[in-house]
Amino acid sequence: MAKIVSVPARALVSYVLNPAARFLLRIGVTPNVVTVAGTVGVLIGALGFGARGELFWGTVIVTAFALTDALDGTMARMRGPSGKFGALLDSSMDRLADAAVFGAVAYYLAGLGNPYGGLVAALICLAAGQVVSYVKARAQSLGLDADVGIAERLERLLIVGVGGLLGAAGLEWGLPATLWFLAVLSLITVLQRLVHAAKSDKAPVTGEPA
């Protein structure tokens, strides 16, 4: 099943980010610095604004800084081959940022009395999102292919962002509804990756004894 955000849309985002990536590299900023700065920005938007119910500004700040996930990758590709630590740092910061976003949403909805079961949905999204990433990373470490899924990190952040904007507009059902939608998509993505990894598991063929 295809990703929600199409390849052309992703290419457009990369096209917009390319000039920024070249500029930052030119002035000596490293991809790792951008990774950490982006995570700090997401934490501020999620915990400093979203958790307190300031959904509009929380969504805007989180979305803006979440784009650094594409920016640091673009910078790394432009700079050329480097060590493996950058990939580890990027993955670790992504998990921290995702936990902050959905943790903040869960905290906010708990304060409202769990409208439409939104708190439960947020916790499912939090857990399933971590598993989505884990399955891919673990599969790669085992030599399997799990690079599929309808709702990857970009899709998950965009969907929860839509929910934040609906909530900011005064629609009480908006955020819980998008969280339930995302919870289903995240669980489907976990299943997709497990199935794809299983299909890519080719046992070595051994010859018959003479």
The catalytic residue positions are 94
Two tokens, residue 73: 């990758």
Going by the DSSP 8-state scheme, the letter that residue 200 receives in this structure is T
Gap between the Cα atoms of 26 and 40, Å rounded: 23
CB 46 within 8 A of CB 62: yes
* Residue whose C-alpha is closest to residue 66's, from 134, 126, 156: 156
Largest Cα–Cα separation, the chain: 76
The answer to whether 157 and 101 have CB atoms below 8 angstroms apart is yes
> What is the spatial distance between Cα 104 and Cα 106, in angstroms, rounded to a whole number?
5
Q: From residue 63, how far is each of 8, 41, 139, 161, 189 by CA, in Å? A: 19, 10, 29, 7, 22
Give the tokens for residue 203: 């046992």
Q: How far is CA 206 from CA 33, 34, 130, 144, 210, in A?
A: 48, 48, 37, 19, 12
Report the interhelical angle of 85-111 vs 174-199 (nearest 10°).
140
